[in-house]
Amino acid sequence: MKNRKLHAWLWRWHFIAGMVSLPFVLVLAITGGLYLFHPKVVETKTEPWRELGLTDEAQRLTYQEQWNRAKGVLKKPLSQFQIPEKSSESTQFTAGRFSHKTTVYIHPVTGAVLATFSPKDSWMYTVRKLHGELLGGKVGTKLVELVACWMVVLILSGLYIWWPFERGAQGVFTIRWRQGKRIFFRDIHAVIGFWMSGLLLLTLAGGLPWTDVFGAGFKKVQKWTDTGYPKGWNGRGLTSIVQDKPLTLDAMVAIAKAQGLPGTVSVGLPKGTKSSFSVSNKTFPLSEQKMLHFDQYSGALIQEYAWSDVGVLMRGRMWVMAFHQGQFGAWNWWLMQGVAIFLTLMSVGAIVSYLKRKPTKKLGVPKQPKKFKVGVGFVVLLLVLGCLLPLFGASIVLLFIVDVLRKRKTKAGETTLVRSL
């Protein structure tokens, strides 16, 4: 049998944390499901400039000439060229990274600048901002991180609270739909939560590396343990031997194609006279990704990195982040869409179940068990979680301080009352 006082104590805090977090969880679930459509939305948005329907016989400008046409279109220098996968496509040059990235589309026959596109030019950018920071900037980002941390605790505590020690194995598989709406929605929340718990934890693991506090700490651990990208992965510290003329982009593309890399292949453009060309590919599985650096004058290979050269923490981080975004194929996309849908159902189930059980004109917060002290093992678990999830740890310390002050105030009030009597 369970420790019933621990059960009651956990249930109280699970309830309070759930009620505070629930609105944010719903926003994260809905926006997360929507953002999975981001690649398709961008593909549809850029199709008029990207897919031109050109034939193989069309007379094209050289890649070098197209690069020259693209230079100066943006205020920031171009950093990357994507090798076209189909002869019917336009040519793409990119400046910047991540949400600050801007792509220039060049017509390969006329050399005309067809358009420029940034992630900010799509309504999906607003969805992303809602999902990542609730449109609240740095404060919103930390609030999302805090909710994600408490979701980990909600999942772990929910598993203990719900574990069907009364219903047995039947409670794992069945939802009671004939015993009233409260029981029905309570079981929707609990049964779905049980089966989704592991997947939800993995999904949260894929989102936490983007956060400010946990993400920054994780990067520091990678640096201390030398388990991130190799130092020269991005070409820093690698130099070309300066000669009269650098290679043309066409010559570099020929070298890149000769590497036989799978997926979408891009050429990193030199930033200065001594920097190098880089060739990388985006593909799944991640183990097939490579990064190669070439002398921009001779075309000689300066440095080659395979996925096995990347540190174990970075490999794990990139895997869970790609999984979080549904990038491993249709199965992964549908799995993440299922997480978003079922998380929404779980949240709605919790709300309806609460409203059905809530006493009139009262919040219905579960009572604190009397004369209960948390065991050492549980304190150790909280300390471990607090260290792994710093914002959760900070919130626990704050709650502890508030609780101590509340008890002192209550005790002082009782003492005053006794004296007055």
> DSSP states of 357-413 as a string?
HPPTTS--PPPPPTT----HHHHHHHHHHHHHSHHHHHHHHHHHHHHHHHHHHHHHH
pLDDT in tens, 342-395: 999 999 999 999 998 888 888 888 888 887 787 888 889 989 999 999 999 999
**Tokens 């197209």 found at:** 66
With a CB cutoff of 8 Å and minimum separation 6, the contacts of 35 are 124, 127, 128, 131
Can you tell me the distance from the alpha carbon of 277 to that of 296, in angstroms, rounded to the nearest whole number? 6
Predicted confidence at residue 74, as pLDDT, reads: 92
Can you tell me the distance from the alpha carbon of 384 to that of 407, in angstroms, rounded to the nearest whole number? 26
Of 52, 73, 341, 335, nearest to 192 by C-alpha is 341
Phi, psi at 300, each rounded to 5°: -70, 145
- Tokens matching residue 263: 């997926």
Question: pLDDT below 50 — which residues of the chain?
Answer: none
Identify the burial level of 26 via C-beta atoms within 10 angstroms of its C-beta, where 0-12 means exposed, 13-18 middle and 19 or more buried: middle
Predicted confidence at residue 414, as pLDDT, reads: 59
E strands, 23-158, in order: 80-82, 91-95, 102-106, 113-117
- How far are the Cα atoms of 44, 50, 94, 135, 267 from residue 101, in angstroms, in the given order? 18, 17, 7, 20, 15
Predicted confidence at residue 6, as pLDDT, reads: 86
Rg (CA), the chain: 28
Predicted confidence at residue 421, as pLDDT, reads: 52
**What are the structural domain ranges in the chain?**
1-52+123-228+311-372, 55-106+237-309, 376-412
Predicted confidence at residue 139, as pLDDT, reads: 95
- Tokens matching residue 31: 């926006």
The CB-side HSE value for 24 (13 A sphere, CA atoms) comes to 22
pLDDT in tens, 202-232: 999 999 999 999 999 999 999 999 999 999 9
Sign, CA torsion 54/59/61/63: positive
